[in-house]
Structure 1
Amino acid sequence: MAFESLTDRLQQAMSKLRRKGKVTEADVKEMMREIRLALLEADVNLQVVKEFTKNVRERAIGVEVLDSLSPAQQIVKIVDEELTKTLGSETVGIEKSPKIPTIIMMAGLQGAGKTTFAGKLANHLMKTENARPLMIAGDIYRPAAIDQLKVLGQQLNVPVFDMGTDVSPVEIVRQGLAVAQEKKNDYVLIDTAGRLHIDTQLMDELKQIKDLAQPNEILLVVDAMTGQDAVNVAESFNQQLGITGVVITKLDGDTRGGAALSIRQVTGAPIKFTGTGEKLTDLEVFHPDRMSSRILGMGDMLTLIEKAQQDYDEKKAEELAQKMKENSFDFNDFVEQIDQVMGMGPIEDLLKMIPGMSQMPGIENVKVDPKQIARQKAMVYSMTPAERENPDLLNPSRRRRIAAGSGNSVVEVNRMIKQFKESRKMMQQMSKGNMNIPGMDQMFGGGVKGKLGKMAMNRMVKKQKKKKKKRK
Structure 2
Amino acid sequence: MMLGLFGSGKTTQIGKLSHYLMKRGMSVGVIAADMMRPAAYEQLEQLSKQVGCSFYGRKGAKSTDVVREGLQKLKNDIIIIDTSGRDALDDELIKELKEIDEIAKPDEKILVMSADIGQIAKKQAEEFNNAIGLTGVIITKMDGSGKGGGALTACGVAGVKILFIGVGEKIDDIEEFKPEKFVGRLLGVPDFEALMEKIKAVAPEGIEEVPEELNIETFYKQLKAARKMGPLKGIFETMGMVNVPKEVIEQGEQKMDIYEAIINSMTKAERKNPDLIRKQPSRIDRISKGSGVPPAVIKEFISQFEKMKKIYERLQKNKGMQKNLMKMFKGKGLGF
**TM-score normalised to structure 2 length:** 0.57
1:198–1:134 CA distance, 2 compared to 1 (3 A): closer
1:444–1:222 CA distance, 2 compared to 1 (3 A): same
- Find out whether 1:118 has 2:9 as its counterpart: no
- Find out whether 1:149 has 2:40 as its counterpart: no
Match of 1:177 in 2: 71
- Partners in 1 of 2:186 and 2:31 — Cα distance? 36
1:351-388 CA deviation, whole Å, 9 max, x = no partner?
xxxxxxxxxxxxxxxxxxxxxxxxxxxxxxxxxxxxxx
Match of 1:397 in 2: none
Amino acid in structure 2 at the alignment position of 1:125:
L
1:95-138 CA deviation, whole Å, 9 max, x = no partner?
xxxxxxxxxx100111101100000011000102x111110001
Match of 1:258 in 2: 149
Alignment of 1:100-111 (within 5 A): 105-111=1-7
1:445–1:162 CA distance, 2 compared to 1 (3 A): same
1:150 Cα shift? 0.7
Match of 2:190 in 1: 299
Aligned residues: 205
1:256–1:133 CA distance, 2 compared to 1 (3 A): same
- Partners in 1 of 2:97 and 2:11 — Cα distance? 16
Q: CA RMSD in A?
A: 2.5
1:300 Cα shift? 5.3
Alignment of 1:131-170 (within 5 A): 131-164=26-59, 166-170=60-64
- Partners in 2 of 1:236 and 1:248 — Cα distance? 16
SS in 2 for 1:292: helix
Matched-pair contact (CA < 8 Å) for 1:221–1:246: yes
Match of 1:249 in 2: 140
Match of 1:81 in 2: none
- Partners in 2 of 1:177 and 1:284 — Cα distance? 27
Match of 1:223 in 2: 114
- Partners in 2 of 1:121 and 1:188 — Cα distance? 11
1:157 Cα shift? 1.5
1:178 Cα shift? 0.7
- Partners in 2 of 1:300 and 1:223 — Cα distance? 27
**TM-score normalised to structure 1 length:** 0.41
1:443 Cα shift? 5.9
1:370-410 CA deviation, whole Å, 9 max, x = no partner?
xxxxxxxxxxxxxxxxxxxxxxxxxxxxxxxxxxxxxxxxx
SS in 2 for 1:217: coil
1:447 counterpart (225, 238, 243) = 243
Matched-pair contact (CA < 8 Å) for 1:294–1:300: no
- Percent identical pairs in the alignment equals 43
1:274-317 CA deviation, whole Å, 9 max, x = no partner?
00111110000100111122233323588xxxxxxxxxxxxxxx
Matched-pair contact (CA < 8 Å) for 2:120–2:151: no
1:136–1:268 CA distance, 2 compared to 1 (3 A): same
Amino acid in structure 2 at the alignment position of 1:255:
G
1:399-453 CA deviation, whole Å, 9 max, x = no partner?
xxxxxxxxxxxxxxxxxxxxxxxxxxxxxxxxxxxxxxxxx99963443999xxx
- Partners in 2 of 1:239 and 1:211 — Cα distance? 16
Alignment of 1:241-390 (within 5 A): 241-299=132-190
Amino acid in structure 1 at the alignment position of 2:31:
I
1:442–1:155 CA distance, 2 compared to 1 (3 A): closer
Amino acid in structure 1 at the alignment position of 2:243:
G
1:160 Cα shift? 1.0
Matched-pair contact (CA < 8 Å) for 1:249–1:276: yes
1:235 Cα shift? 0.9
Which stretches in structure 2 are left out of the alignment for 5+ residues? 194-235, 247-336
1:262 Cα shift? 2.2
- Find out whether 1:207 has 2:98 as its counterpart: yes
- Partners in 1 of 2:238 and 2:52 — Cα distance? 46
1:197 Cα shift? 4.4
Matched-pair contact (CA < 8 Å) for 1:238–1:267: no
Query: Which protein has the larger Cα radius of gyration, Structure 1 or Structure 2?
Result: 2
Amino acid in structure 2 at the alignment position of 1:444:
G
1:158-197 CA deviation, whole Å, 9 max, x = no partner?
1210011x211111101100112xxx31000001111244
- Partners in 2 of 1:241 and 1:216 — Cα distance? 13
- Partners in 2 of 1:198 and 1:443 — Cα distance? 43
- Partners in 1 of 2:181 and 2:245 — Cα distance? 23
SS in 2 for 1:216: coil
Match of 2:223 in 1: none
